[in-house]
Amino acid sequence: MRKVKWNAFLSCLCGLAVVLGGVALSARADVTTEKGASILIFPKVRADGTFDTIIQIANMSNNMVHAQCFYVNATLRDTSCNCPCVVPSATCVPLCQELDFEIWLTKQQPTHWSVSAGRNFTPYPTFGEDDSGFVPGHIPPVTDFVGELKCIEVTDSGEPITRNDLKGEATLVSLVTVEDGTLRSNLTAEGDVAKYNAIGIRGNPDVAPGNPLLLDGGATYDACPAKLILNHFASGAPDMVVSELTDAPSAEFTDLTLVPCNEDFENQIPKWVTVQFVVYNEYEERYSTSITVSCFLETELANIGQVFTYGFLGTEVAQTIITPVVQPDGSSGGLVGIAERITTVEVASPATAARAAYNLHSEGSFIPPNGPDGITLPGEQ
């Protein structure tokens, strides 16, 4: 007898639409991964000896484009010993140190660079070499880096401009094979790659934005999402395809990265936001948990709470709604992020792993009660 497998992801989506009374079908999502934007956010960038990241940015217009970019190094440090740590906790927190640089792009020009190598100002690059093409300017190399990259379109004099000319992509490249059996999200194979689109925030071309840049729902810039929607496997669930093809043990994991939309590059003060996770399994049973994101969060879902685990959920897949929480004093902030699916197969010891990055679905516009999110650039406000 042929076994018919229920399409759980479609069921979750349909069930959620019923629960939300159709809101998911009509609510507007402001951020984009396909159109040109004035602000680009690369939530996950790694150049730490285990991974490197290739950044690609393109000018979609026939104008010269100038962008101011900021690396935010969120490498975890233990405040009790000022030493590296792995799992976020009360004492294991991100550095949140910023490094800025500028790029110039001629009309319709794409450019790229490796985060660990950067890109030198080479007036006459060799054709066919990695730094060939028009020079975008000096891009500094960074190492021992885990964090995000934000790029903002600005004028020649450095003032923000809302022409929506930028689009970007990032490719995470595994440099070595990692055999970490304690943190499954660290399992990887040398040469494995995972790619995602940069998250774009479009500006209103009819206004001249000030500083800070206001993510106010379109009056100046579009707002960050009211909700992020993550479709994922339960942590530790067997891979359905592998189970059909072989008896080898397999498991699925999801690595989630979230970054706040608020950013203060002038004073380098980390921003934080409390996030609620509402998890629906295949039977549309509802569970919840929460966590505080300070500057940057990258972790396997099971590290957030047992509600994400296969043993707890009882189903192979789930859908999670990620929502910013408004505090009693009215403070809050939006978030954006990406996810990586990690599939492990134990055909030998250690397990073989492969990763695939993907963008989260988004819904609605989030305007905190105390005022819109903002990105403060260096200089006078």
pLDDT per residue over 321-359, tens digit each? 999 999 888 889 999 999 999 998 876 666 678 899 999
Q: Is the pLDDT of residue 28 over 60?
A: no
pLDDT score recorded for residue 29: 55
DSSP string, 231-269: EEEPBTBPPHHHHHH-SS-EEEEEEEEEEES-EETTTTP
Architecture of domain 8-26+224-369: Sandwich (2.60)
Q: Is the pLDDT of residue 12 over 70?
A: no
Q: Where do the domains of the chain lie?
A: 8-26+224-369, 39-213
pLDDT per residue over 272-331, tens digit each? 899 999 999 999 999 999 999 989 999 999 999 999 999 999 999 999 999 999 988 888
| N residues, the chain | 381
Torsion angle in degrees (nearest 10) through CA of 288, 356, 152, 217: -40
Phi and psi at residue 231, to the nearest 5°: -95, 130
Average pLDDT over residues 53-61: 97
Q: How many CB atoms lie within 10 A of CB 32?
A: 18
Q: How confident is the model at residue 1 (pLDDT cuts 50, 70, 90)?
A: very low
pLDDT score recorded for residue 154: 97
Residue 273's Cα: distance from chain center in Å? 15
For the stretch 123-126, contacts whose Cβ atoms lie closer than 8 Å and that sit 24 or more positions apart, written own/partner, are none
pLDDT score recorded for residue 131: 67
Q: Is the pLDDT of residue 191 over 70?
A: yes
Burial of residue 103 (CB within 10 Å: 0-12, 13-18, 19+) is buried
pLDDT per residue over 208-226, tens digit each? 999 999 999 999 999 999 9
Phi and psi at residue 74, to the nearest 5°: -115, 30
Q: How many CB atoms lie within 10 A of CB 212?
A: 20
